[in-house]
A and B are shown apart, each in its own frame.
Chain A
Amino acid sequence: MVNRAGIIAKISKGTKMDQIYLPKIRSGLNTGEYVLIQQISADEMTGEKEKTAKSSKPIFYNLKYLEPIKMQIIEKVFEIIGRESPENIIITGSFLEKGFNFNDIDVLVISNDTNLSNLKKEIEKATGIPAHLIVMDNKTLIAGLSSDPLYEMMLSKSVSKKKVIFNIKRQMNYKLLDLNLLKSKTMIDNFEILNGYEKYYFTLNLISILLFINNKKISKKSVNNEIEKLFKISVKAIKDNMAGKGFFDKYKEIYTKTQNLIFNNIK
């Protein structure tokens, strides 16, 4: 009886009414929708438990809430890519932010078979959402996580098919950091013509590198907090293109400081 949008749950005793708890992150079963509650037998329960164990539930990292419709999309993506038996599938990026203000869905496929890019069209056809598919092997993922702050930030909020090992010792590759920092130089040359979102992303890149060098934890939240602390302006205001000269001067100062930290260690 359990279909795609079904959950097996136990009835728990309440004071005035008994209740069934639904996980906040679930596929389908949106709030406000009507559902049918039906009893299942002990045998059916055992069967469903086995099925669930085999299908393995997605793993959520730093995600407190996800719209049920998004969860359905993620399961569809897992199903399509899962047919190719990759080592892991990781969903990340703006798709996981609250609401529907995303342009596409970022899918990281961990596999030795790098010819999986053709799955992009299939995902787009099935979900109606543009897909940004990155295929890499596990070795590359580990190398990225250990030496590239962007990887750490990208994966800090994610949903994966299997567990991702984040406890990887950082390795400072100052050449890579120099290269990543160069992206943020674009802001210095073009501050006046950039829109708020572009300014935000250049700042995000800069501060994530600074935190990485200082051996601080990197997540979208921690980087945003640091931006607000250092620049004394909200992330929203930056995105709304309200950052002015004071922000720009501080940006240049932090860019130079970060570049010096990199240059002092480069070999």
Chain B
Amino acid sequence: MNRNKLIELFIANLSNAVLHKILEKAIDIQEISLRYSKEIINSWEIAKRYREKINPIGRALPSHDIEGIRNSIIKKVKVEINQRIDRGYENLDFSLVDDFVDDALKHFSVI
């Protein structure tokens, strides 16, 4: 798999993971978010798999990559949030997106 494809998949999974966090915050009954199935690997773990294949591993990516990845994730998450708001979903907090994305990118040594 080439580097661009790996980055594309990394973005898709991290967007999903960030969206998951935003939706969790908006849910009415937090206490029932039981993780039933340990077998279901989540987007966060898959994003990690891809990051481990994107060079440079373990340190920040070149600035042009960072900008592209960050903007793509934010855009994807906001599209998903908007899709939900249009259908009447309440309590979704747009302001969380940038911070969540930056935290995730730091976690994966992208920035």
B46 within 8 A of A: yes
Most buried by A among B32, B39, B49, B84: B32
B94 sits at the interface (CB 8 A): no
**Alpha-carbon distance between A226 and B84 when the two chains are bound, in angstroms:** 28
Binds B, one of A34-42, A50-58, A119-127, A177-185: A177-185
CA A136 – CA B30 in complex, angstroms? Answer: 13
A 97-123 to B, binary, CB cutoff 8 A, 1 in contact else 0: 000000010000000000000000000
**Interface mask (A188-203 → B, CB under 8 Å = 1, otherwise 0):** 0110010001100110
Contact present for A198 and B41 (CB under 8 Å): yes
A13 at interface, CB cutoff 8 A: no
Identify which of A140, A144, A201 contacts B39 (C-beta below 8 A).
Answer: A201
Contact string against A for B residues 73-100, beta-carbon threshold 8 Å, 1 for contact and 0 otherwise: 0000000000110011110000000000
Q: Does A61 contact B (CB under 8 A)?
A: no
Q: Which residues of B contact A266 (CB under 8 A)?
A: 84, 87-89
Q: Which of A147-155, A157-165, A245-253 contacts B (4 or more CB under 8 A)?
A: A147-155
For B13, list chain A residues within 8 Å (CB). Answer: 186, 189-190
Of residues 66 to 106 in A, which have CB atoms within 8 Å of B's CB atoms? 104
What residues of chain B lie closer than 8 Å to A26, measured between beta carbons?
A: none
Task: Select which of A143, A151, A267 is within 8 A of B36 by beta carbon.
Answer: A151
Type the 1/0 row for A235-267, where 1 means its CB is closer than 8 Å to any CB of B: 000000000000000000000000000011011
Contact B89 A144 (CB under 8 A): no
Interface contact B28-A150, CB-CB below 8 Å: no
Enumerate chain A residues within 8 angstroms of B33, measured Cβ to Cβ.
176, 179
> Most chain-B Cβ atoms within 10 A of its Cβ — which of A179, A186, A189?
A186
Interface centre among B16, B40, B83 (most CB of A within 10 A): B40
Q: Are B34 and A186 in contact (CB under 8 A)?
A: no
User: B24 near A: Cβ within 8 Å?
Assistant: yes
**Contact between chains at B36 and A150 (CB < 8 Å):** yes
| Inter-chain contacts of A198 with B (CB < 8 A) | 39-41
With an 8 A cutoff between CB atoms, is A20 at the interface? no
Of all chain B residues, the one with the shortest Cβ separation from A134 is: B34
If the complex has contacts A175-B27, A190-B13, A267-B88, are A205 and B38 also in contact, measured as CB distance less than 8 A?
Answer: no
* Residue B69 at the chain A interface, CB threshold 8 Å: no
Structural contact, B88 and A205, CB atoms closer than 8 A: no
Binding site for A on B (CB under 8 A): 9, 12-13, 16, 19-20, 23-24, 26-29, 31-34, 36-43, 46, 49, 83-84, 87-90
